Every structure is written in C-alpha cells, then in structure tokens.
Structure 1
Amino acid sequence: MTRPDYSWPLPEAIERRLGRESYGAQRAIHEDGHLLLVLHEPPQSAGGAREHAVFLRTPDGAWAFHGQPGGEQALRRLLDSYQERLAKGLAAYDQADDAADLFALIERVRPMARAAVNLHAALQAAREAVKSDVELITARDRGAEIQRGLELLLADAQLALNFRLAQQAEAQTRAALANHRAQEKLNTLAAWTAPLMAVGAVFGMNLRSGVEAMDAWLFWAVLVAGMFVGWWVKAWVQRPPPPEKKKALSSAKARAGGKPPRR
C-alpha cells in the first residue's frame, strides 16, 4: 500500500515527515507556512483500518481537501459525521434494555472516543501553529465538545453495564442463599424424621417380636429414643468443620529464637 499523492504542492520539509505507505496518525504538520492536517474519518470498528481525511492550508489562507478546493466545508462535514455518531450513541444508550445492548454500545463508542481524543489533539496543534485562522478555532472547539461527549457517553455506558452486572450478581446471590436456607430446612427435617421413620418401620413389620402385649410406656420410650437420635443426627449434620491445625514452626526458625533465617 502506497500513500496517495494529491494534486497539491507540498513543501519538501513536509514531504520528509511523511511515510511512503500512509499519512499515519492524526496530527498537524506546519512547515514553511503550509499546514498539513491529517485527520481520520469516524472509525467503523475497533480494529478496522482508518480512512484518512487530509487537509492543506496554504500560506495565503486557502484550504484544500484531498487536493481539491473547499477544505473548510470538508472539515465541517467531518466534524458533523463525528457529531452524528455521538447523537446515535446517545439514542442507543437511552434505548438500552440489558447488558448485551450496553456492551454493544461500548464496543462501538470506544474506538470513536479514542479517535475523538486524537482528533482534538491534532486540531489543537493546528490552532497553535496558525493562530489567526478562525476556521481552526471553531473546529478545535467543536472537537473538544465531541471528545467530551463521547467520553461521558462511554463512562455512563460502562457505569450502567457495571450496575446491571452487579444487580444480576446480587440476584444470583439472593437465590443461592434462599436455596441454601431451603436445603438446611430439608436437612433438618430429614435428620429429625429419619430415625423415627426407621424405628417405626422396624416396629411396624408384621412379625411377632414379643413386644405386642407390653404396656404403653414402651411406645413412649421408643418415641423419646427416636427423637433423641434425631437430635443427635441433626447436631452432627450441622456441626462446623474442625479448625485447621496451625503449622509447626520450622527447625531453623526455632533455632533462631523465633526469628526467620537470614537470606
């Protein structure tokens, strides 16, 4: 890929500062009274190629765009395209309903915000090089507004996305806690009833064991014993794990009187 040469006379000092493949990053080159302003069109994606918008201001104050006259109007159209992208981003932010919409918006706005920062820096450098051009002052001010708007939009979208993710995490935590409490209740109920059900199943078998004709106190004794076993099972299930044993001091540290060995 070679750098396009437009039909305008460039001073040798500017030609020496340009590469052979492209015009490079957004910047302002001021040599021998000529101002070459290299800007980029609004990016379409984060990693895509950048289309250059190259302006030339001659010492007599005339502007050209890609070798053709009418550079002032082309510069205004370029800033209008950035402003239009900003307006679309604000509308998309207002209509975002979920985290996927916010993530897609951030993915679109991030390269735009980065390009707007470099755009404003190039316009500011051009303004400092040619201080008497009103067109540059206006373009610099518009570039600052676009940069600020895109940065605020990106920050708001990122904050909204973080808030949505935090809300989802809290909802999942509450659901997990509710499930944990329900599981604890079920475990407690099982611990109480399992021994009683086991004893009832044993004594409910249609076998002659000799206890059928005994007094009613045996029934209550078996019931109390089953409840006691259920309480013991419940306490065993809910017992916390034992604390980890502290690691013993190394022999070298003990010989040093409790101090770590020197290195």
Structure 2
Amino acid sequence: MKRTQYAWPLPEAINARLGSESWGAQRAIFEAGHLLLVLHTPPRGDGNEREHEVFLRLPEGKWMHKGLDRGEHALNKYLEDYLGLHAELERRFEKAHGIDALFAIIDSLIPIARASANMKAALQSAREQLGNDPRIIDFRDRSVEIARGFELLLADARLALEFRLARSAEEQTRAAEAGNRAQHKLNILAAIAFPLMSVSAVFGMNLHSGLEQMSALLFWLVFIGGLGLGMLVKSWIGVSALEAGSKKKSGRS
C-alpha cells in the first residue's frame, strides 16, 4: 500500500524522511522552513488501523490539511473530536455500574490515552521546532489538556474497577464463611443425632432380643449412652475444625 500523496509544496528534505508505504507514527518534521505534522485519528473500535491526519505549515505561517487549505480549521476540529470522545467516555463511566461495563470503558480508553499522549508529544516537538509561534503553542496546550484528561479518566476507571473487584471478592468471602458456619452447625447436629438414631434403629427392630421384659432403666441408660457418644463425636468435630482453622491462618501469615 503506497503512502497517499497530496497536492502541496512538500520539500524534498521532508519527503526523504518519510516511508513509501505510510506516513508513519505521530511526529513533527521540520525542514526548509516547512513543518509537517503527522497525527492519527482517535482510535475507535477493536481495529489496529489508524487513519492519518497530516498537516503542513508553510514558512509564511499558512496551515494546510491533506493538500487543502484551511489546515488551521481542520486541526481545531481534530482536537475537538478528541474532546468529544472524552466527554462520551466520561458519560459512559458515570453510568457504569457493573464490572463488565468498566472493563469495556477501560478497553476503549487504553488505546485512546496512548494515542493522545503521542499526539501531545508530536505537538510539543512542533512547538520546540517552531519556537514561540502563538498558534502552535495554543495547539500544544490543548493537546496537553486532552492527554491529561484521558490519563485521569483511565486512572479513575481502573480504580473503580479495582474497588468493585475487591468488594465482590469480599462479598464472596462472606458468603463462603456463612456457608461454612451453616455447614458446621449441620455437622454438629448430625454428630449429636446420628448415635441416637443408630441406637433407636437397633432397638426398634422387630426382633426378639430378650430385652423386651427389662426394666425401663435400661432405656434411659441406652439413651444417656447414645447422647454421650453424640457429644463425644461433636467434640471431635469441633477440635478438627479448630485445627483446620489454625492451619489456614498460619498459611495466610
């Protein structure tokens, strides 16, 4: 793919610094009194292709855009497009309530923040090469504000995402702890009830064991023995739970 050629008086010294296939990265080239400003349009979507916005400042101060006049107006509109994109993403951020929405905003902000930082660097380079030209100083100052705005918005979005991820993790931990407490209570209940149920099942069988004529005292002895066995099992479960908890704490430390 050949680099697009525009109808403007581009010095050969600048042509020699350009590739044949593309205008290349965002930068400022100053040769023979001409300033070539190569910028990229604000990235949108998932594509890696970037459309170039190329500006040329002639020695007498006139700006051109892609071979056409009114380059100063086109550069103003270019910067306004960045501001409009920032306002749009800021509105999306204010309305974002879920983690997925924040991920989408950050995914859009990362390439835009990088592109705006490179745009600011190109305009700063143009400012250094042109000296105290009032128009290029204005353009540079606006680019600094734009790049700073995207940088801060990206930082805010990342901070909000980290906060919501941490809160979600805390809620999951609390839910897991509540489930563990409920499970522990069920284990204790089963530990107490299981021996009693086993004994009652044995004595409830319709078989002659010779104990049918025994005193009622035997019933109470069996009941107390089963209850004592249940409490013993409960204590064993409690000790096991404490040991597991202490091992978990020591592992965290």
TM-score normalised by length of structure 2: 0.92
Query: Which piece of structure 1 moves more, 229-238 or 3-12?
Result: 229-238
Q: Percent identity?
A: 55
Report what 1:13 is aligned to.
13
* Residues 63-108 of structure 1 deviation map (CA, whole Å, 9 limit, x = unaligned): 1100111110000000000000000011111111211111111111
**CA distance, structure 1, for counterparts of residue 132 and residue 175 of structure 2:** 65
How far apart are residue 221 of structure 1 and its match?
A: 1.3
Q: Conserved in 2, the CA contact under 8 Å of 1:55 and 1:66?
A: yes
**Which residue identity lines up with residue 204 of structure 1 in the other structure?**
G
**CA distance, structure 2, for counterparts of residue 204 and residue 46 of structure 1:** 73
Report what 2:39 is aligned to.
39
Report what 2:84 is aligned to.
84
Report what 2:4 is aligned to.
4
- CA RMSD in angstroms comes to 1.4
How far apart are residue 32 of structure 1 and its match?
A: 1.2
How far apart are residue 47 of structure 1 and its match?
A: 4.1
Report what 1:146 is aligned to.
146
Q: Conserved in 2, the CA contact under 8 Å of 1:63 and 1:71?
A: yes
Query: Which piece of structure 1 moves more, 129-138 or 44-53?
Result: 44-53
**CA distance, structure 1, for counterparts of residue 2 and residue 207 of structure 2:** 101
**CA distance, structure 2, for counterparts of residue 47 and residue 179 of structure 1:** 46
Structure 2 unpaired stretches of 5+: 248-253
**CA distance, structure 1, for counterparts of residue 63 and residue 97 of structure 2:** 45
How far apart are residue 134 of structure 1 and its match?
A: 1.3
Structure 1 unpaired stretches of 5+: 244-263
* Residues 118-157 of structure 1 deviation map (CA, whole Å, 9 limit, x = unaligned): 0000000000111232111111111001011101111111
Q: Residues 110-129 of structure 1 correspond to what in structure 2 (within 5 A)? A: 110-129=110-129
More helix by share: 2
How far apart are residue 232 of structure 1 and its match?
A: 2.7
**Which residue identity lines up with residue 103 of structure 1 in the other structure?**
F
Q: Conserved in 2, the CA contact under 8 Å of 1:45 and 1:111?
A: no
Report what 2:208 is aligned to.
208
Report what 2:109 is aligned to.
109
**Which residue identity lines up with residue 127 of structure 2 in the other structure?**
R
Q: Residues 44-55 of structure 1 correspond to what in structure 2 (within 5 A)? A: 44-55=44-55
SS in 1 for 2:29: strand
How far apart are residue 234 of structure 1 and its match?
A: 2.5
How far apart are residue 46 of structure 1 and its match?
A: 4.9
What number of residue pairs does the alignment pair up? Answer: 242
Report what 2:186 is aligned to.
186
**Which residue identity lines up with residue 181 of structure 2 in the other structure?**
R
How far apart are residue 12 of structure 1 and its match?
A: 1.8
Report what 1:74 is aligned to.
74
Report what 2:221 is aligned to.
221
**Which residue identity lines up with residue 19 of structure 2 in the other structure?**
G
**Which residue identity lines up with residue 99 of structure 1 in the other structure?**
I
SS in 2 for 1:68: coil
Report what 1:254 is aligned to.
none
**Which residue identity lines up with residue 139 of structure 2 in the other structure?**
A
SS in 2 for 1:67: coil
Report what 2:251 is aligned to.
none
**CA distance, structure 2, for counterparts of residue 11 and residue 208 of structure 1:** 116
SS in 2 for 1:30: strand
**Which residue identity lines up with residue 67 of structure 1 in the other structure?**
G
* Residues 154-195 of structure 1 deviation map (CA, whole Å, 9 limit, x = unaligned): 111111111111111111111111111111110111011001
**CA distance, structure 2, for counterparts of residue 70 and residue 145 of structure 1:** 24
How far apart are residue 58 of structure 1 and its match?
A: 1.1
**CA distance, structure 2, for counterparts of residue 67 and residue 99 of structure 1:** 45
SS in 2 for 1:64: strand
**Which residue identity lines up with residue 48 of structure 1 in the other structure?**
N
**CA distance, structure 2, for counterparts of residue 135 and residue 46 of structure 1:** 34
How far apart are residue 117 of structure 1 and its match?
A: 0.1
